Amino acid sequence: MFDPIRRRFSTLAMVCAFLGLITTAQTRAACLNSTTNGIPTAAAGQFSPALYRPGDYPGSSLIRVGDDDEDDSIVGLWKFKLSGFLKDFGTQAFHAGGTETMFSAGVDPSTGDVCQGVWRKIGRSTYTLNHIAMAWTAPGAQYGVLIHIHMTIRLAHSGDAFTGHYSVSLFSATPENPFDESGGAFASGGGDVTASRVRPD
């Protein structure tokens, strides 16, 4: 007859081994705390917020987001100023989920002063922003201008400021085809962006 004590120890050992395998697999699947050639890589013991976006990186579907990074995060509220082709200022919020919202105080609210974008990290303290603004040609007129902005920004070492460069293209649009860029831009340009972080009291 098989010794009951040995059987209990054998069962316990099997359970521990199984749990160890599960923990290792979960750790390797969920931990993204570094990048190799821009692709998140796994490391045991450290967990970071991640966003699921199929196809953004070859062989990977998770993108790091959040503010527990090796350096300060872009996530938060900023006071920004644009110079160059666009002359604007206002507040800009970068959200942990990879989206961004801008309130343009330099634009008449009746022609559209709120716009949105999506951001991602491309290097240490460096981010890109794909931003879309939609405007009316004049107060009371119908929607008629699609503004597409691409921005590259770098966070200061302090984490309380960023600087960068943008390029912008303006497209004629209609309510029937509000996002149509096939006709080409009727105007384009570029310039610089500066911003300072808004901290809680």
Taking 60 as the threshold, does the pLDDT of residue 96 lie above it?
yes
Is the pLDDT at 149 greater than 70? The verdict is yes
Give percent of the chain with pLDDT exceeding 90.
59
pLDDT at 52: 58
pLDDT in tens, 165-192: 999 999 999 999 999 999 999 999 999 9
**64: pLDDT confidence band, cut at 50, 70 and 90?**
low
Burial class (CB in 10 A: 0-12, 13-18, 19+), 16: exposed
pLDDT at 30: 38
pLDDT digits (tens, 9 = 90+) for 42-60: 444 555 566 555 555 455 4
pLDDT at 135 over 90: yes
Instruction: Using alpha carbons, list the distances in angstroms from residue 154 to 42, 66, 71.
Output: 25, 16, 12
Buried b (16+ CB within 10 A) or exposed e, 149-188: bebebebeeeeeebebebebbbbbbeeeeeeeeeeeeeee
Report, as an integer, the average pLDDT of 98-116. 94
Looking at residue 140, its pLDDT comes to: 87
Collect all residues with Cβ–Cβ distance below 8 Å to 36 and sequence separation of at least 6: none
Domain boundaries, the chain: 4-64, 76-198
**pTM exceeds cut of 0.85:** no
pLDDT of residue 148: 98
CATH number of 76-198: 2.40.128
72 pLDDT band, cuts 50/70/90, is confident
Q: What is the pLDDT of residue 150?
A: 98
Model confidence at 117: pLDDT above 80: yes
112/38 Cα distance (integer angstroms): 35
Which range, 11-15, 63-67, 107-111, is most confident?
A: 107-111
Predicted confidence at residue 34, as pLDDT, reads: 46
Residue 40 has pLDDT above 50, yes or no: no
For 123-152, what is the mean pLDDT?
95
